[in-house]
Every structure is written in structure tokens, then in C-alpha cells.
């Protein structure tokens, strides 16, 4: 059973469209991160959210942490081909005994066509 469920697994859209990626769990997380990964490289951190209900914006990207800290979403406005990549959510389970240990979702492969 996947602790963090990401959806959709694949997303293929045209330039200029909007999209949302979801990261859901039945567990509570003390913090949640979103990473973006390009082929042949390691993931790069986009944002960290730590407070229930928190919303963070990074240019055309909007990140939201659910009120109960069990879910998160990433919304991209007016997607561009440069947004293409693998998007990963990762969280530290609340009440865990191994601080710093992250659990990753299975990822969303986004392709934005010009």
C-alpha cells in the first residue's frame, strides 16, 4: 500500500492549459515537499509546506497543504513546455521516530506540448 498516492500518474497537455496534481494519504504529515525531476538528474525541491491550510505560490505554480495535513495539491497555470518533467510529493509522517525520513509518492509525469 502506497502511503502517498499521487494522481494522475501521467498528464499530457497543450501549452497554455492549467493542471492540478494531487497527493493524498490517510496519514497525517508534519511537512510535505514537492520536487521536480528531469531525465538523468536528481529531484530538485520546489516548495515545503508545514502548516495545515497553507498555500504557497511560486510564479505560475500554486501549492496547497490540506487543513488536516493529509493531502496536498500542485496547480500550474498556463503550462509551458519547460514545465515538462516528473513531479514528486514527499512527506514526513507525523509522530514518526525517524526524523528527516521522507516518504515519496509514485510521481506524476507531465508533458506539455508546444
Partner 1 sequence: GAGVSQSPSNKVTEKGKDVELRCDPISGHTALYWYRQSLGQGLEFLIYFQGNSAPDKSGLPSDRFSAERTGGSVSTLTIQRTQQEDSAVYLCASSPQGLAYNEQFFGPGTRLTVL
Q: Can residue 40 be called a binding residue for partner 1 (CB under 8 A)?
A: yes
Query: How far is the C-alpha of 17 from the C-alpha of 11, rounded, in Å?
Result: 11
Q: What is the β-pairing status of strands 10-14 and 108-113?
A: parallel
Strand partners, 31: 92
Q: Can residue 44 be called a binding residue for partner 1 (CB under 8 A)?
A: yes
Which of 90, 84, 86 minimizes the C-alpha distance to 112? 84
Q: Least distance to partner 1 from the beta carbon of 56, Å?
A: 13
Q: Which residues in 1-30 contact partner 1 (CB under 8 A)?
A: 4, 6, 30
Note the residues at the interface with partner 1 (CB under 8 A): 4, 6, 30-31, 33, 40-45, 48, 50, 86, 88, 90-92, 98-107, 109
Amino acid at each position: 500500500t502506497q502511503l502517498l498516492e499521487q494522481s494522475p500518474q501521467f498528464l499530457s497537455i497543450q501549452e497554455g492549459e492549467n493542471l492540478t496534481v494531487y497527493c493524498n494519504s490517510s496519514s497525517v504529515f508534519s511537512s510535505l515537499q514537492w520536487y521536480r525531476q528531469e531525465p538523468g538528474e536528481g529531484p530538485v525541491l520546489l516548495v515545503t509546506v508545514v502548516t495545515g491550510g497553507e498555500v504557497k505560490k511560486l510564479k505560475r505554480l500554486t501549492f496547497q497543504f490540506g487543513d488536516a495535513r493529509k493531502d496536498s495539491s500542485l496547480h500550474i497555470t498556463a503550462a509551458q513546455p519547460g514545465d515538462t518533467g516528473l513531479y514528486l510529493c514527499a512527506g514526513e509522517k507525523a509522530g514518526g521516530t525517524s526524523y528527516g525520513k521522507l516518504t515519496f509518492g509514485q510521481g506524476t509525469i507531465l508533458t506539455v506540448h508546444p
